[in-house]
Amino acid sequence: MVGPKTELEAKFRARYPAAPPPRFFRAPGRINLIGDHTDYNEGLVMPMAIESACYVGVADNGLDAFRVFSEDMQDGVEFRIADLDAAKPRRNWTDYVIGVAAELKRAGVPLKGRDLLIESTIPVGAGLSSSAALEVASTLAMLGGSRMEPLEVVHLCQRAENDFVGVPCGIMDQFTSVFGRAGVAIKLDCRSLEYEPVPLPRKVAIVAVNSMVKHELGASVYRERVNECKAVLQAITEKHPEVTSLRDVTADMLAEGYNWVPVKRARHVVSENMRVQAFANACRAGSIQSMGVYFTQSHRSLQHDYEVSCPEIDFLVDSALTQNGCFGARLTGGGFGGCTVNLLNRDAVPDFRTRIREAYRYSYGIDPQVLLCEPGNGASMLA
Ligand code: ADP
Ligand code: MG
């Protein structure tokens, strides 16, 4: 069989000729259908795992160190297990891998020296969560057969990204990469971590359009939004002590006259939680038109209230909405570039692909990547 495993095996052999036969792990990326910037506010999200994934080959190396090479970055790193306790971030891709190794050690997992080879089919930095996929696949590889509860893997990877990489992300990406399931999206409550599979109507296709841009300011605005949410929460808690997160905030509380930018941010979170619920219900009822309406409303809220869109993404959304067979379109992921997610009639996908590429090339001179996304399974070892 020719496939990712066979190709990766050849690359593994070439890089680590003396290694014993490697094992391979796969962790998928995800596309968030609806519910953005709600996860770190204990809210609702509805992502699905996708076929694109991060693959890691791994074998013992008999050393007291990990050697890691990323085919995508064409770069490698070696680090000793003994040095993990005092490891400092290097501010590059290796932080994701060293971060999970350090967390595994802190969790008391016995670690052995291993060689890892990484290769991913997820576009990097496009909002399809190549980072969580890298964390999850690396964790499974470094566990080397030691058992860890799937939810513990999720928390461990989130800690690595929060504390070591330094991105204050919520739990959605890691959760989806671990718990994704073929054929369904996952409605997740980021407070209770209860989740439900939601099958998509058969007629619907989910298509990602990658704007191919990632504006520098994205990372700092993400932090700023996290802090704005904390600020508005604190103000509301003074009046309503029962409120412990934006999840508890109601539209009425926001109407109480805080004339302040962070209130717009909270309005996005509160309305987005309601849209996730409504979208899931519409999905179950097969009401594709309504699903599309919630999609587009979500985009407008991210654009105007949360202010995390950018001209390229707004262009892709507006252009998609003029096309036949497109029910809704929105920014997906953190914002300031990355991908839009489009809800299409399956039959309309080929024409949509052609037209959106033409339109974006004409206006921005950029050829966007257009990906048909099928809901796939969560992380596993490859047989
Ligand atoms: P996203 O998760 O949306 O793709 P992030 O900015 O959160 O975007 O994560 C992207 C970062 O993850 C990259 O800049 C790189 O540091 C790391 N990364 C992702 N995939 C790989 C890979 N295959 N090899 C090495 N690093 C990777
Ligand atoms: Mg990420």
Q: pLDDT tens across 186-200, in order?
A: 999 999 999 999 999
Is 219 a pocket residue for ligand 1 (Cβ < 6 Å)? no
- Say whether pLDDT at 257 is over 90: no
Mean pLDDT calculated for residue range 118-127: 96
| Ligand 1 atom nearest to CA at 127 | 3
Is 72 a pocket residue for ligand 1 (Cβ < 6 Å)? yes
- Say whether pLDDT at 174 is over 50: yes
pLDDT tens for each residue of 286-309:
999 999 999 999 999 999 999 999
Residue 163 annotated among the catalytic residues of the structure: no
**Ligand 1 centroid distance, CA of 136 (Å):** 12
- Say whether pLDDT at 322 is over 80: yes
pLDDT tens for each residue of 337-351:
999 999 999 999 999
Mean pLDDT calculated for residue range 22-49: 98
**Ligand 2 centroid distance, CA of 281 (Å):** 28
- Per residue, the 3-state secondary structure of the chain, as one string, reads CCCHHHHHHHHHHHHCCCCCCCEEEEEEEEEEEECCCCHHHCCEEEEEEEEEEEEEEEEECCCCEEEEEECCCCEEEEEEHHHHHHCCCCCCCHHHHHHHHHHHHHCCCCCCCEEEEEEECCCCCCCCCHHHHHHHHHHHHHHCCCCCCHHHHHHHHHHHHHHHHCCCCCCHHHHHHHHCECCEEEEEECCCCCEEEEECCCCEEEEEEEEEEECCHHHHHHHHHHHHHHHHHHHHHHHCCCCCCHHHCCHHHHCCCCCCHHHHHHHHHHHHHHHHHHHHHHHHHCCHHHHHHHHHHHHHHHHHHCCCCCHHHHHHHHHHHCCCCEEEEEECCCCCEEEEEEEEEHHHHHHHHHHHHHHHHHHHCCCCEEEEECCCCCCEECC
Of 36, 95, 115, 173, the active-site residue reads 173
**Ligand 1 centroid distance, CA of 131 (Å):** 4
pLDDT tens for each residue of 71-107:
999 999 999 999 999 999 999 999 999 999 999 999 9
**pLDDT-based confidence at residue 1 (cuts at 50, 70, 90):** very low
